[in-house]
Amino acid sequence: MSNASTESYDEPYLETCCRSTLHRLLLCASTGRPTGLKDQPCLERLERLGLSELRDDGRFVITQDGLKRHREEIGPVD
């Protein structure tokens, strides 16, 4: 078994709603997503997982780990 395969088993499962939120974060780029939206619970979960961060201006943005996870689970964005 390759190392990449064993890594995926160590990562917490992302529900469909959280994967969608991760994709929205990517699409928002540096603008970020504001707090108080319907996907707030997912934004907070992604933050706990290190896949997003809440900036001082109250907006969530995707992290480098989030970009990596997006490429692995959702697909590359070119």
pLDDT digits (tens, 9 = 90+) for 16-25: 999 999 999 9
Tell me which DSSP letter residue 70 carries: H
What is the pLDDT averaged over residues 34-58?
97
Residue partners of 11: CB distance under 8 A and separation at least 6: 69
Provide the mean pLDDT of the chain: 88
Residue ranges of domains in the chain = 16-74
Q: What is the pLDDT of residue 9?
A: 53
* 30-45 confidence digits (pLDDT tens): 999 999 999 999 999 9
What is the pLDDT averaged over residues 2-6?
45
Q: What is the pLDDT of residue 37?
A: 95
Q: What is the dihedral of CA 4, 16, 24, 5, to 10 degrees?
A: 0
> What is the value of pTM for the model shown?
0.83
Beta bridge partners of 62: 52
Beta strand segments in 17-68, E: 33-34, 52-54, 59-62
